[in-house]
Amino acid sequence: MTEDDIIKFDTADPLAAHRRYFELPANTIYLNGNSLGPLTTASKYRVREVVESQWGNDLISSWNKHQWIDLPLTVGEKIAPLIGAAPGQVLCCDSVSVNLFKLLAAALTNRASKRTVILSQQDNFPSDLYIAEGLINLLQEHGISAELRLVAAENLEEGIAQSPDVLLLTHVNFRTGAVHDMQRLTARAHDHDVPVIWDLSHSAGAMELALDDCQVDFAVGCGYKFLNGGPGAPAFLYVASRLQAELQQPLQGWMGHKQPFAFEPKYVPDAGINQLQTGTPGILSMSALDAALSCFEGLTTTQLREKSLALSTMFLSLLEEDLTCESLTLVSPREPEQRGAQLSFSHDDAFPISQALIEAGVIVDFRAPDLIRLGFSPLFLSFNEVAKSAAILRQILTEGQFRQERFSVRAKVT
């Protein structure tokens, strides 16, 4: 691939102009938008306005005047088209972990079975498993027979056939980037009358998603990864309309009450998706996410998916043009359709290599024990940047500068 070829990719890229919405530091190629999306100019100004003008001047009247009170619903509606959801089914609130607790508990309520089995995948994101385990412990302490059953990806269908009470899966694996067939697994689960909760943390904003079409029951997803909502941005959740009337979720706080400002001692859930709210939303961070979502306006998820796959495919082919890269093992699916918006490579020296890349201005991350993870965010990366980062990685591997001692010092967050 020549430099001219790479320029052609950028010239033909329908998303190229979106780069200008982002505030990226100079001399930095940001391949970590899958972990923490970068700052958008829209978020920067919105947060400033919310702090200085709304909070600063309008104080408490802002809940009505600036519709703070409606943000969980309005932000939810902005996320809805990115995940293939019709209105009234998506809410922005809390963290993924907390939302998962609410939905797992809701999915298990009203189940007739004497046993409560949550089926998930061994290498699911640990926080998802910790939340499930916590719920299981709680049920067991109250004398309910409960089990978190973990199987390998290839044994999921077998596990579904044993009719667990709920299936909890992450659409794109955070380590390998392997993507599940949402349509097929959801249908399989429904064949056995098993409701499904999908975690879309590594999918929303970078993949084509069709929750309604797949008849998904429940979903959660992350606001600070491909949606670029900022550090600790609130997450989102989805509950299919058909399930909302019967729903019972345990974290029933006043924001999910039918009339929070009636201050009734008895909890009465609001109708619809809003009953999934718990406490007061964090307006500063929800505003940042709200503004960041404006960058997706006018785009289709097909465009996002195509660009992201084109970026990762180019990276892979440039990297592999050189035989010195044999020491890196691709652990992501080679088949583009089978991976999300990331590539992961294993290497015995994954950590020092990731540090050497970062020092060279290519921001990636390391996942224990031996993975280098690169995210291909479709909104702000150019083909030229991706080509450059492949060249830098090749150079680091060939020249071996990652062996210098300073690259092996580990900080708290990796």
Ligand X SMILES: *Cc1c(COP(=O)(O)O)cnc(C)c1O
Interface positions with ligand X (CB under 6 A): 95-97, 125, 127-128, 170, 174, 199, 201-202, 222, 235
Name the DSSP letter for residue 39: P
Where does residue 201 rank: exposed (0-12), middle (13-18), buried (19+ CB within 10 A)? buried
- Is 224 tagged catalytic? yes
**Closest separation in Å from C-beta 304 to ligand X:** 18
CB of 220 to ligand X, least distance (A): 7
Q: Give the Cα separation of 108 and 116 in Å (integer).
A: 7
Catalytic (active site) residue 111: no
Q: Given the residues 78, 367, 373, 394, select the one marked as catalytic.
A: 373
Instruction: Choose, from 46, 78, 225, 305, the residue flagged as catalytic.
Output: 225
225 classed as catalytic: yes
**CB-based contact 91:276 (threshold 8 Å):** yes
Smallest separation (angstroms) from ligand X to the CB of 99 = 8
For ligand X, give the closer residue by CB, 9 or 125: 125
Q: What are the two backbone dihedrals, phi and then psi, of residue 96, each rounded to the nearest 5 degrees?
A: -55, -45
Secondary structure of 237-269 in HEC code, one letter for each residue:
EEECHHHHCCCCCCCCCHHHECCHHHCCCCCCE
Of the pair 174, 315, the CB lying nearest ligand X is at 174
The nearest distance, CB 190 to ligand X, in angstroms, is 22
Q: How far apart are the first and last CA of the chain?
A: 33
Q: How far is the CB of 257 from ligand X (least distance, A)?
A: 24
Residue pair 204/79 in contact (Cβ under 8 Å)? The answer is: yes
Q: Residue 177 or 378: which CB sits closer to ligand X?
A: 177
- Cα angle 361-367-368, degrees, rounded to a multiple of 5: 130
Q: Least CB distance from residue 225 to ligand X, whole Å?
A: 6
184 is annotated as an active-site residue: no
Which of the following is catalytic: 22, 125, 174, 315?
A: 125
How does strand 218-221 pair with strand 342-346?
A: unpaired
Active site residue 322: no
SS3 string of 309-349? HHHHHHHHHHHHCCHHHHHCEECCCCCHHHECCEEEEECCC
Catalytic residue among 13, 128, 165, 199: 199
State how far the Cα of 46 lies from the Cα of 15, in Å rounded to an integer: 23
Annotated catalytic residues are 125, 199, 224-225, 373
